[in-house]
Amino acid sequence: MFRVSAISLCSCVLLFAPALGDENTHGSDDHSHRNRLVRVVTISQDGLRNDGGKPMLNATLALLDQAAAVQPDIACLPETFTRGDAGAVPGPTTNRLAEWARKHRCYVICPMLRRDADRTFNSAVLIDREGKVVGHYDKIRPTENELKNAVCPGVDDPPVFQTDFGPIGIQICFDVNWHSQWKRLKQKGAKIVFFASAYPAARQVKSHAWLNQCFVVSSTMTRAASIYDITGDQIATTGKYQGWTSAVLPLGKRLFEIDFHVSRMRQILRKYGPKVSITWYHDDDLVSLASLDEHLTVDDLIKEFKLTPHADYIERARTAQDERRIARTTLQQRDGNRDPPVTTANPN
């Protein structure tokens, strides 16, 4: 079997990245590329001095300035990243981030305590490439201490935000404990969920990535910030030598059951070679497929090679099971609800 690792996938994409997003095309309005390869950046504030307000804002922007070298499409900051008082939107914090977003033609997720009239929310504000506020997500699940400090819960239905590379969702810290919210974002079409947090919550975040088969980007106050594949595998992480990390995500990447797909994946590899990345998960009977060519989509490959994505395969099986269950019930009712004979195993 042909096999590459999930880490190799992103390494391969990064090799393609300079040709796909040089200074003349980065952040442009050209939507001719059908298969979006999205550069994401995330920040960890681990090791920064805990001086709230402007000092923390400046220190975090210094990390963002370093990360600008990779020309990201979107960057995410940690939960309430300035540690300052609640502020208005727009206001001093969002204005500073908007300036950076305009300069680098990059979306920015700016988590902060947001004041709205007489209420305070733990929010994440999305700023677009032009420096304009797209919208905000309000943390649905504040902690008990936050509630005691008058932080209001957000509306119990997380929004999805449209960007020029696809829909995204946001969750904040304690939200990690409610799977229904992450599932809802997937149902609404989110390709990436950004997780602004005080801590990594790595075990839970990996599970959300896998269960919803979407990319997850965590940004943290302490310890590591990480980027996770749709399989839950960690793609990139911050650490001792660098407080930011990045990856290029092929948003069309899909997961498939081994059933019916082994020979077809080999056919795809023979035809498209370096334009695709195929990863075999031998112990799980799964295989993933990503396109590394901006003009070739995984949907194209699904149609050409008659592939069935994992989620569709599971739904097809569930439907067949339910139909058989209904047929059995109907037969029993027709036959007077007689139970089938019980077969006893021979003890010998």
> Would you say 39 and 72 are in contact if contact means Cβ atoms under 8 Å apart?
yes
Q: Is 60 left (phi over 0), alpha (psi -120 to 50) or beta?
A: alpha
Q: Average pLDDT for consecutive 10-residue bins of the chain (348 residues)?
A: 42 40 44 83 94 93 98 98 96 98 98 97 98 98 98 98 98 98 98 98 98 98 98 98 98 96 98 98 98 96 98 96 89 69 52
- The confidence score (pLDDT) of residue 344 equals 55
- The confidence score (pLDDT) of residue 161 equals 98
What is the spatial distance between Cα 75 and Cα 81, in angstroms, rounded to a whole number?
Answer: 13
> Would you say 67 and 41 are in contact if contact means Cβ atoms under 8 Å apart?
yes
DSSP per-residue string spanning 261-309 = THHHHHHHHHHHGGGEEEEEETTTTEEEEEE-STT--HHHHHHHHT--B
What are the backbone dihedrals phi and psi of residue 84, each rounded to the nearest 5 degrees, phi first? -90, -175
What totals of helices (H) and strands (E) does the chain contain, helices first? 9, 16
Residues 6+ apart with CB under 8 A from 220: 44, 45, 46, 78, 197, 198, 199, 200
Name the nearest CA neighbour of 130 among 219, 40, 28, 34.
28
For the chain, the residue count is 348
- The confidence score (pLDDT) of residue 337 equals 60
> Would you say 231 and 6 are in contact if contact means Cβ atoms under 8 Å apart?
yes
Domain ranges of the chain: 36-250
Q: Is 323 left (phi over 0), alpha (psi -120 to 50) or beta?
A: alpha
> Would you say 176 and 201 are in contact if contact means Cβ atoms under 8 Å apart?
yes
- The confidence score (pLDDT) of residue 49 equals 86
Place domain 36-250 in its CATH homologous superfamily. Answer: Carbon-nitrogen hydrolase (3.60.110.10)
Measured on CA atoms in the order 244, 10, 162, 18, is the torsion positive or negative? positive
DSSP state letter for 221? S
What are the backbone dihedrals phi and psi of residue 172, each rounded to the nearest 5 degrees, phi first? -130, 120
What is the spatial distance between Cα 20 and Cα 28, in angstroms, rounded to a whole number?
Answer: 12
- The confidence score (pLDDT) of residue 327 equals 86
Instruction: Provide the token pair at 76.
Output: 């995410």
Q: Say how far residue 186 (Cα) sits from the centre of its chain.
A: 9
pTM: 0.87
What is the spatial distance between Cα 224 and Cα 63, in angstroms, rounded to a whole number?
Answer: 14
Q: Is 326 helix (H, G, I), strand (E, B) or coil?
A: helix
- The confidence score (pLDDT) of residue 345 equals 54
Name the nearest CA neighbour of 90 among 107, 115, 65.
115
Q: If you search the block for the tokens 């079997």, which residue do you land on?
A: 1
Half-sphere exposure of 130 (CA within 13 A, CB side): 7
Name the nearest CA neighbour of 168 among 122, 127, 121, 131.
127
Instruction: Provide the token pair at 302.
Output: 């699904």
> Would you say 290 and 276 are in contact if contact means Cβ atoms under 8 Å apart?
yes
What is the spatial distance between Cα 82 and Cα 91, in angstroms, rounded to a whole number?
Answer: 13
> Would you say 75 and 107 are in contact if contact means Cβ atoms under 8 Å apart?
yes
DSSP state letter for 212? H
